[in-house]
C-alpha cells in the first residue's frame, strides 16, 4: 500500500487540510477558520483532534504542518507565532506526534508554497528565491538544493530589513522595517484612507495609476532586487495574494526589479517566474514536504 501524507497549512485566518496518496492522488481538501481550533481552551488538543479525524478515515504515514511564523533551525520548536499565540514557544510537532501516534514535522508555510512551485519546474534548481506577498512579505530561500533556515531559524525575513527615513512601527517590534511600506497591510491601510467604500480586490484596477501606488511598486522592486543581488539565484519566484489581485502591475514590478539587478550576469540570466498558487497550494506543498521529510521522495 502506498504512503499517505497529510498536509496542514495553518494561516492567521484559515486552516487547510489535504492528503496525498502515492504520487498524485489528492484527497479530502478542507478549509475552516483557524480561530475554530486555535481559540479553544486547549488549542494543541484541538489540532490533534483534527489529525485524529483524518486518521479515523485512513492511516497516515506522516503529517506536515505549515506555520506562519519563525521556527527553530531544526524545525522542532515554534519560536514566534504572533497570530496563533496558543502555539507560540512550543515543541508543537513532538506534542502532536505523541497525541496522534503519527510522525509530525513542521516548517514555515511559505517554504511549502515554494516547494510546490519548485516541483512544477522540469528539474529542481540549485538556488532559488521565493517572494510571496500577502499581508506580510513571505520569503523562502532555497540554497544549494535545500531550504536555508539560518543559524537561529530566522532567515528569509526580507520584510524586516530597514528602509531609510521610515519610522513606522512593525509588528515584529522594530521601527522602520521595509514591510511596513511594501506589504498587503500597507495596501489595505492606503485603501481604507483613500477609497474606503470600494472592495480592496479592485484597488489596482481603480487606482493603479496613482503615484503613491506606483511608488509602492518601486519600493517593492527595490527590496526584492536587493535580496536577489545578494544571492544571485537561478530563479526568482513571485507570488502571493497581492500579486494575484486584479490589475496588479506585474510588468512594472518585473522591470523595477530588472533595472536594479547587478549587471551583467544576474540581470541577463535570472529567470523570474510568477507562481500560480491556488487555495490548495500551501497544503499540497506541505504534503510534498511530508513525503520528502519522512518518505525520501525522489527529487525529480
Ligand atoms: Zn519588522
pLDDT digits (tens, 9 = 90+) for 56-67: 999 999 999 999
Pair (260, 199) in one structural domain: yes
Residue with cell 523595477: 256
Closest to 6 (Cα-Cα) out of 277, 295, 239, 279: 295
78 and 142 co-located in one domain: no
Per-residue pLDDT at 172:
87
Cell reading at 45 = 488538543
Q: Distance from the CA of 162 to the center of ligand 1, in angstroms?
A: 8
Q: Is residue 120 helix, strand or coil?
A: coil
CA of 70 to the centre of ligand 1 (A): 13
Residues 150 and 262 grouped into a single domain: yes
Three-class SS of residue 141? strand
Distance (Å) from CA 172 to ligand 1 centroid: 4
Q: The domain that contains 102 carries what CATH number?
A: 3.30.420.40
81-85, 111-115, 125-129: least confident range: 81-85
Dist. CA 213 → ligand 1 center (Å): 21
The pLDDT, as a whole number, for residue 298 is 47
Q: Do residues 119 and 105 lie in contact, with contact meaning Cβ atoms separated by under 8 Å?
A: no
Report the pLDDT averaged over residues 24-43: 94
pLDDT at residue 75 tops 50: yes
Residues 23 and 63 in one domain: yes
Same domain, 139 and 157: yes
Same domain for 141 and 254, yes or no, is yes
Q: What is the pLDDT of residue 300?
A: 39
Structure pTM?
0.94
What pLDDT score was predicted for residue 119? 95
pLDDT score recorded for residue 46 = 96
Confidence bin at 297 (pLDDT 50/70/90):
low
Cell 484597488, located at residue: 203
User: Same domain for 16 and 87?
Assistant: yes
Q: How far is the CA of 174 from the centre of ligand 1 (A)?
A: 5
- Specify if 119 maps to a domain: no
- Mean pLDDT on 201-215: 97
Please tell me whether residues 133 and 270 are part of one structural domain. yes
Measured on CA atoms in the order 223, 225, 231, 237, is the torsion positive or negative?
positive
**81 alpha carbon – ligand 1 mean position (Å):** 14
Region of 240 please: left (phi>0), alpha (psi -120 to 50) or beta. left
Torsions phi, psi of 224, nearest 5?
Answer: -65, -40
Is the pLDDT score of 256 beyond 80? Answer: yes
Same domain? For 184 and 254 the reply is yes
- Residue 165 burial (10 A CB sphere; 0-12, 13-18, 19+): exposed
Retrieve residue 74's grid coordinates. Answer: 531544526
Ligand 1 centroid vs 178 CA: distance in angstroms?
7
Instruction: Write the CB contacts of 14 (distance below 8 Å, at least 6 apart in sequence).
Output: 31, 32, 33, 34
The confidence score (pLDDT) of residue 13 equals: 85
Q: How far apart are CA 239 and CA 136, in angstroms?
A: 12
Question: Can you give the residue range of the structural domain that contains 217?
Answer: 127-274
Q: What is residue 299's predicted lDDT score, i.e. its pLDDT?
A: 44
25-61 burial string, b = 16+ CB within 10 Å, else e?
A: eeeeeeeeebeebbeeeebbeebbebbeebbeeeebb
Q: Residue 148 — pLDDT band, cuts 50, 70, 90?
A: very high
184 CA → ligand 1 middle, Å? 14
What is the CA(35)–ligand 1 centre distance, in A? 24
Q: How many CB atoms lie within 10 A of CB 169?
A: 11
Under DSSP, the state recorded for 298 is: P
Q: Indicate if 133 and 242 belong to the same structural domain.
A: yes
Q: What is the mean pLDDT of residues 120-146?
A: 96
pLDDT band at 166 (very low <50, low <70, confident <90, very high): very high
Residue 99 lies in a domain: yes
Distance, CA of 287 to CA of 26 (rounded, Å): 9
The backbone region for 160, taken as left when phi is positive above 0, alpha when psi lies in -120 to 50, beta otherwise, is alpha
Residue 9 lies in a domain: yes
Mean pLDDT score across all residues of the chain? 94
Are 74 and 132 in the same domain? no
CA nearest neighbour of 64 among 115, 24, 25, 23: 115
Asked if 189 and 254 touch (Cβ cutoff 8 Å), the reply is no
In this prediction, residue 2 has a pLDDT band, given cuts at 50, 70 and 90, of: confident
Amino acid at each position: 500500500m502506498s504512503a499517505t501524507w497529510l498536509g496542514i497549512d495553518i494561516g492567521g485566518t484559515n486552516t487547510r487540510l489535504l492528503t496525498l496518496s502515492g504520487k498524485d492522488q489528492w484527497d479530502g481538501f478542507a478549509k475552516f477558520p483557524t480561530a475554530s481550533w486555535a481559540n479553544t481552551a486547549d488549542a494543541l488538543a484541538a489540532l490533534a483532534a483534527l489529525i485524529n479525524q483524518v486518521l479515523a478515515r485512513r492511516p497516515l504515514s506522516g503529517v506536515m504542518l505549515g506555520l506562519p511564523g519563525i521556527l527553530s533551525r531544526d524545525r522542532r520548536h515554534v519560536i514566534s507565532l504572533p497570530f496563533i499565540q496558543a502555539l507560540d514557544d512550543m515543541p508543537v510537532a513532538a506534542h502532536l506526534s505523541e497525541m496522534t501516534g503519527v510522525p509530525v514535522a513542521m516548517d514555515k508555510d511559505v517554504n511549502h508554497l515554494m516547494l510546490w512551485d519548485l516541483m512544477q519546474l522540469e528539474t529542481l534548481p540549485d538556488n532559488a528565491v521565493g517572494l510571496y506577498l500577502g499581508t506580510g512579505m513571505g520569503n523562502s530561500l532555497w540554497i544549494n538544493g535545500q531550504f536555508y533556515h539560518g543559524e537561529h531559524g530566522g532567515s528569509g525575513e526580507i520584510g524586516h530589513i530597514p528602509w531609510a527615513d521610515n519610522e513606522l512601527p512593525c509588528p515584529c517590534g522594530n521601527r522602520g522595517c521595509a514591510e511596513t511600506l511594501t506589504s498587503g497591510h500597507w495596501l489595505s491601510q492606503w485603501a481604507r484612507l483613500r477609497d474606503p467604500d470600494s472592495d480592496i480586490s479592485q484597488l489596482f484596477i481603480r487606482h493603479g495609476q496613482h503615484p503613491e501606488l506606483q511608488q509602492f511598486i518601486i519600493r517593492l522592486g527595490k527590496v526584492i532586487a536587493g535580496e536577489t543581488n545578494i544571492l544571485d539565484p537561478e530563479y526568482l519566484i513571485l507570488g502571493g495574494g497581492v500579486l494575484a489581485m486584479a490589475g496588479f502591475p506585474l510588468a512594472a514590478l518585473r522591470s523595477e526589479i530588472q533595472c536594479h539587478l547587478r549587471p551583467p550576469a544576474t540581470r541577463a540570466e535570472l529567470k523570474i517566474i510568477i507562481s500560480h498558487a491556488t487555495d490548495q497550494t500551501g497544503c499540497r506543498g506541505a504534503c510534498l514536504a511530508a513525503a520528502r521529510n519522512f518518505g525520501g521522495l525522489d527529487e525529480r
